[in-house]
C-alpha cells in the first residue's frame, strides 16, 4: 500500500498527454515539415475562393495553353500558365485542394466509424459472429482496392461522391482488422477484468473502457489512409470514374491534360505535383504520428 | 505442418465462395436491365428479350441462378463477352501473360533495387545514405503512378525519344505466340531487333509499376534489418570477428528476409491494381486495360469474370505466401 501512495505525486508531475505527444512528434523533423505543408494545404482548401485569382471554370480564350510566367510567352497574369481551354492553372489547383481535402476527410470518417464499430463488435461478439465478420472482411480484401473501387463506381455511376463511397467501403476491412486485433489484446488485461467485475455493462466496456486504449494504431492508420484516399480518388478521376470535368479535381485535370503532354508540360506537371506534395506531407506526418503514438516504438 | 496446411485451405473455401457471390451479385445490382444495356441503342424485340432472359437464366430463382453460376465457374465457364462474343475465360487467359510479364518485371525491378537500398539504409542508420534513400522511398511510396508515367513519357519518349509510348512491340515484327511472354517469344522468333524492341516497350511500364513496391520493399527491408541487427547473435557474430559484409549479407539479411517475403507476396494485389493504371496509360494489352475498357463498354460479363479471376489469383498467391511462411517460420505453424 505504501508503494501505491508514493507513486501518486509522480503521476501528477507527468506532462499532459498532448505535451508528451508533441515531444515525440517534434523529434521527427520530417513529420513537422509534413505538418506545416499539410496545414498549408488545409488553409488552401478552406480559403480557396479567396486565394484563387480567377474563377476555376472561367475560360480566357485569348490565352489558351499559355506557359508559366517564368517561361517565354508566359505572363504573371497566369503564374502557372493556362490549360487547353484557357483556364488559369493556379486557380484550378487551389480549388482542387478542396476536393482532395474533402475526399480525405469523408473517406477517413466513414471508414473509421464503420470499421471501428464492426471491429469492436467483432472483438466482443460471440465466436461465430467474429468468424463471420472476419471471413467477410477476407472476401473484401481479396479484391485489389482500386479494382473494387472501380467496379463499385461502375455500379453506382461515375461521380466524386460515388468514388468516395467506393473508397470508403474498400478501406473498411483494414480498420475492422486493426480494431479487432487491439480489442482482443486489450480484453485480456486486468483493467478490463476489473471494470467487468465492478459491473460495467457490455457497451460501457466496449466504448469507454477498451476503445480509448485501442485508438493509437487507428489514428496512425487514419492518417495514412487519408493520403491513400486522395491517391485513389485521383486515380479514379484519372480513369474518368471519379469527379467529372470541368471539376478542377487534380486527377481529373490530369486526365484532361493527357493529350497535351508533349506540347504543354505544365498542364500535366502541376496537378500531379500537387497530389504528390500533399500525399507526401500526409505520409510524413503519419510516420511521425506512429513514432509518437505507438508505445512499442517509443524510446523509454 | 499438414494440419496447418489443412486449416489454411479450409479458410480458402469460404472466401472463394464469398468472392463468387460478390461477382455473381455484381451483374444483378447494376442499375438498369443488363439485357437492355446489352442490346445497346438499337433495342430488341419482345421475343428476343424473352429469349435472352431464358438464355442468361434470369427467369429462374436467384438461388438456382447462383448455383448454376458457381457450377459454371468451377468448370471454367465465365460467360461470354457482350462485345466480342468470345468466352471470358478464353479472353482472360489470352491477355493474362501480358500482365504477368509486366508484373514479374516490375517485381524483379522492385526487389533488385529495394533489397539493397533497404540493407544499405539500415547499415548506415541515421547517416546521409539512410536519409537520402528513405526520403526517396517515401516519395516513391507517395507517388501517384499515373502522373509518374506521364512524366516519364514526357522525358524519355517525348524529349529524348528513347522509348516508345505504347504497346508491347513494334508493328514491324510479327511472330507466333508461343509463351505469351513477349520477351521470350521475340527471342524464339530469331528476328533481328525484335527482342530489343520488346525490351524498349517494357522499360517504362516496368519502372512505373515497380515504383511503389520498390519503396515498400526498401522501407520494409530497412526496418526488418534494424530489428535483426539489434539481436544478440549479431553481436556474437561481430565479436567473433566476422566481416561486416558477411554479417549484414548473410546472418542479418537471411532473417530480415522473412517479413520482406511476406510483404512481397502480399503486394500482388496492389501490383494488379497498379497494372490497371499502368496498362491504361501505356496501352499495354493486359488484364488491367481489358477491365477498364470493359467497364467503359459496359461489357458486364467481362467485368464480372475478370473481377472473379483477379480475386482468385490474389487469394491463391496469399495462400501460397502463407504456406511458404509456415515452412520458413515454424512459429507460425504451431499457432
Structure confidence by residue, pLDDT tens digits, B143-162: 999 999 999 988 898 888 88
Nearest to A57 by CA among A251, A237, A240, A253: A253
With respect to residue A28, please indicate whether it lies within any of the assigned structural domains: no
In order of A36, A47, A49, the CA distances from A43 in angstroms are 10, 6, 11
With respect to residue A48, please indicate whether it lies within any of the assigned structural domains: yes
pLDDT, one tens digit per residue, over A226-239 is 999 999 999 999 99
In our burial notation (b when 16+ CB lie closer than 10 A, e otherwise), range B208-231 reads bbbbbbbbbbbbbbbbbbbebbee
* Distance, CA of B114 to CA of B215 (rounded, Å): 7
A-proximal residues of B, 126-155, CB under 8 Å: 135, 138-139, 141-144, 146-148, 150-151, 153-154
pLDDT-derived band at B335, boundaries 50, 70, 90: very low
The residue that leads in pLDDT, A5 or A294, is A294
pLDDT value of position A167: 92
Nearest to A241 by CA among A171, A168, A166, A145: A166
Q: What percent of chain A has pLDDT over 90?
A: 33
pLDDT value of position A23: 83
Residue contact B150–A150, C-beta within 8 A: no
Torsions phi, psi for A88 (to 5 deg): -70, 120
- Number of CB atoms found within 10 A of residue A191's CB: 11
pLDDT, one tens digit per residue, over B53-80 is 777 777 778 888 888 888 888 888 888 8
Torsion sign over Cα A161, A167, A173, A174:
negative
> By residue range, what is the domain housing residue A127?
33-52+65-297
Q: What is the mean pLDDT of chain B?
A: 84
- Number of CB atoms found within 10 A of residue A254's CB: 26
Given a cut of 70, whether residue B284 has pLDDT beyond it is yes
With respect to residue A15, please indicate whether it lies within any of the assigned structural domains: no
Q: What percent of chain A has pLDDT over 70?
A: 93
With respect to residue A166, please indicate whether it lies within any of the assigned structural domains: yes
With respect to residue A23, please indicate whether it lies within any of the assigned structural domains: no
With respect to residue A5, please indicate whether it lies within any of the assigned structural domains: no
Among A290-294, B33-37, B292-296, name the most confident range. B292-296
> Can you tell me the mean pLDDT for B132-136?
92
pLDDT-derived band at A138, boundaries 50, 70, 90: confident
pLDDT, one tens digit per residue, over A6-65 is 445 455 566 777 888 888 888 888 889 999 999 999 999 999 888 888 888 888 888 788
- Please indicate if any CB of chain B lies within 8 Å of the CB of A272: yes
Residue contact A145–B26, C-beta within 8 A: no
Domain count, chain A: 1
Given a cut of 60, whether residue B176 has pLDDT beyond it is yes
3-state secondary structure chain B: CHHHHHHHHHHHHHHHHHHHHHHHHHHHHCCCCHHHHHHHHHCCCHHHHHHHHHHHCCCCCHHHHHHHHHHHHHCCCCCECCCCCCEHHHHHHHHHHHHHHHHHHHHHHHHHHHHHHHHHHHHCCCCHHHHHHHHHHHHHHCCCHHHHHHHHHHHHHHHCCCCCCCCCCCCCCCCCCCCCCHHHHHHHHCCCCHHHHHHHHHHHHHHHHHHHHHHHHHHHHHHHHHHHHCCHHHHHHHHCCCCHHHHHHHHHHHHHHHHHHHHHHHCHHHHHHHHHHHHHHHCCCCHHHHHHHHHHHCCHHHHHHHHHHHHHHHHHHHHHHHHHHHHHCHHHHCC
pLDDT, one tens digit per residue, over B290-320 is 999 988 888 888 888 999 999 999 888 888 8
Q: In which residue are the cell numbers 486504449 written?
A: A213
**Which residues of chain A neighbour B148 with C-beta distances below 8 Å?**
272
> Can you tell me the mean pLDDT for A97-101?
91
- Please indicate if any CB of chain B lies within 8 Å of the CB of A299: no
With respect to residue A152, please indicate whether it lies within any of the assigned structural domains: yes
Query: What's the CATH code of the domain at A178?
Result: 1.10.3720.10
pLDDT value of position A6: 47
A252-266, A268-282, B85-99: the lowest-pLDDT one? A252-266
Asked if B110 and B209 touch (Cβ cutoff 8 Å), the reply is no
Residue contact A261–B144, C-beta within 8 A: no
Among A226-230, A287-291, B50-54, name the most confident range. A226-230
pLDDT value of position B331: 66
Asked if A256 and A270 touch (Cβ cutoff 8 Å), the reply is no
With respect to residue A128, please indicate whether it lies within any of the assigned structural domains: yes
Residue contact A144–B31, C-beta within 8 A: no
pLDDT value of position B32: 67
pLDDT value of position A13: 65
What is the least distance, in Å, from the CA of B45 to any CA of chain A? 26
Nearest to B270 among A139, A144, A275 (CB): A144
pLDDT value of position B138: 92
Torsions phi, psi for A18 (to 5 deg): -65, -45
A139-143, A290-294, B233-237: the lowest-pLDDT one? A290-294
Residue contact A268–B154, C-beta within 8 A: yes
pLDDT-derived band at B239, boundaries 50, 70, 90: confident
Q: Which helix (H) or strand (E) holds A284?
A: helix A265-293
Q: Quote ipTM for the complex.
A: 0.86
Nearest to B307 among A151, A258, A269 (CB): A151
The residue that leads in pLDDT, A69 or A180, is A180
pLDDT-derived band at A1, boundaries 50, 70, 90: very low
pLDDT value of position B211: 94
* Cross-strand pairs, B80: B87
Residue contact B144–A234, C-beta within 8 A: yes
- Please give the model's pTM, rounded to 2 decimal places: 0.87
Amino acid at each position: 500500500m505504501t508503494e501505491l501512495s508514493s507513486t501518486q505525486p509522480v503521476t501528477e508531475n507527468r506532462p499532459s498527454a498532448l505535451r508528451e505527444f508533441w515531444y515525440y512528434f517534434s523529434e521527427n523533423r520530417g513529420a513537422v515539415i509534413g505538418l506545416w505543408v499539410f496545414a498549408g494545404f488545409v488553409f488552401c482548401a478552406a480559403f480557396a475562393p479567396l486565394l484563387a485569382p480567377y474563377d476555376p471554370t472561367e475560360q480566357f480564350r485569348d490565352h489558351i495553353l499559355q506557359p508559366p510566367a517564368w517561361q517565354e510567352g508566359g505572363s504573371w497574369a497566369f503564374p502557372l500558365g493556362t490549360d487547353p481551354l484557357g483556364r488559369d492553372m493556379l486557380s484550378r489547383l487551389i480549388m482542387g485542394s478542396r476536393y482532395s481535402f474533402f475526399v480525405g476527410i469523408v473517406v477517413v470518417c466513414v471508414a473509421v466509424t464503420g470499421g471501428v464499430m464492426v471491429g469492436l463488435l467483432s472483438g466482443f461478439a460471440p465466436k461465430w459472429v467474429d468468424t463471420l465478420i472476419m471471413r467477410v472482411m477476407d472476401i473484401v480484401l481479396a479484391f485489389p482496392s482500386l479494382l473494387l473501387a472501380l467496379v463499385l463506381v461502375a455500379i453506382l455511376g461515375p461521380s466524386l461522391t460515388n468514388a468516395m463511397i467506393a473508397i470508403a467501403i474498400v478501406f473498411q476491412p483494414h480498420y475492422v482488422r486493426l480494431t479487432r486485433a487491439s480489442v482482443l489484446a486489450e480484453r485480456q488485461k486486468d483493467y478490463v477484468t476489473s471494470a467487468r467485475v465492478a459491473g460495467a455493462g457490455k457497451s460501457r466496456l466496449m466504448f469507454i473502457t477498451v476503445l480509448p486504449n485501442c485508438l493509437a494504431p487507428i489514428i496512425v492508420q487514419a492518417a495514412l489512409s487519408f493520403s491513400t484516399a486522395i491517391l485513389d480518388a485521383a486515380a479514379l478521376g484519372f480513369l474518368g470514374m471519379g469527379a467529372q470535368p470541368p471539376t478542377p479535381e487534380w486527377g481529373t485535370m490530369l486526365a484532361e491534360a493527357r493529350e497535351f503532354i508533349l506540347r504543354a508540360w505544365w498542364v500535366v506537371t502541376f496537378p500531379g505535383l500537387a497530389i504528390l506534395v500533399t500525399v507526401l506531407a500526409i505520409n510524413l506526418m503519419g510516420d511521425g504520428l506512429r513514432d509518437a503514438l505507438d508505445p512499442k516504438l517509443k524510446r523509454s | 505442418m499438414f494440419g496447418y496446411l489443412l486449416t489454411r485451405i479450409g479458410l480458402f473455401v469460404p472466401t472463394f465462395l464469398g468472392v463468387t457471390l460478390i461477382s455473381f451479385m455484381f451483374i444483378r445490382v447494376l442499375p438498369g436491365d443488363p439485357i437492355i444495356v446489352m442490346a445497346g441503342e438499337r433495342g430488341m424485340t419482345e421475343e428476343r428479350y424473352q429469349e435472352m432472359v431464358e438464355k442468361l437464366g434470369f427467369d429462374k430463382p436467384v438461388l438456382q441462378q447462383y448455383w448454376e453460376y458457381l457450377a459454371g465457374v468451377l468448370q471454367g465457364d465465365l460467360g461470354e463477352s457482350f462485345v466480342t462474343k468470345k468466352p471470358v475465360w478464353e479472353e482472360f487467359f489470352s491477355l493474362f501473360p501480358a500482365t504477368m510479364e509486366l508484373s514479374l518485371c516490375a517485381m524483379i525491378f522492385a526487389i533488385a533495387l529495394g533489397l539493397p537500398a533497404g540493407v544499405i539504409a539500415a547499415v548506415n542508420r541515421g547517416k546521409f545514405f539512410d536519409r537520402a534513400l528513405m526520403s526517396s522511398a517515401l516519395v516513391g511510396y507517395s507517388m501517384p503512378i499515373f502522373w509518374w508515367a506521364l512524366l516519364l513519357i514526357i522525358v524519355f519518349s517525348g524529349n529524348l525519344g528513347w522509348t516508345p509510348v505504347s504497346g508491347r512491340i513494334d508493328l514491324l515484327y510479327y511472330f507466333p505466340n508461343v509463351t505469351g511472354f513477349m520477351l521470350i517469344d521475340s527471342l524464339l522468333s530469331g528476328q533481328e531487333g525484335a527482342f530489343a524492341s520488346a525490351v524498349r516497350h517494357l522499360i517504362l511500364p516496368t519502372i512505373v509499376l515497380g515504383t511503389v513496391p520498390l519503396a515498400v520493399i526498401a522501407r520494409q527491408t530497412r526496418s526488418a534489418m534494424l530489428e535483426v541487427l539489434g539481436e544478440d547473435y549479431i553481436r556474437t557474430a561481430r565479436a567473433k570477428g566476422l566481416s561486416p559484409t558477411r554479417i549484414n549479407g548473410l546472418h542479418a539479411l537471411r532473417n530480415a528476409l522473412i517479413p520482406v517475403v511476406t510483404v512481397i507476396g502480399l503486394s500482388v494485389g496492389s501490383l494488379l491494381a497498379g497494372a490497371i493504371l499502368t496498362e491504361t496509360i501505356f496501352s499495354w494489352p493486359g488484364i488491367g486495360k481489358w477491365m477498364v475498357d470493359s467497364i467503359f463498354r459496359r461489357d458486364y460479363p467481362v467485368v464480372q469474370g475478370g473481377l472473379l479471376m483477379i480475386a482468385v489469383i490474389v487469394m491463391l498467391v496469399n495462400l501460397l505466401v502463407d504456406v511458404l511462411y509456415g515452412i520458413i517460420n515454424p512459429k507460425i505453424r504451431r499457432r
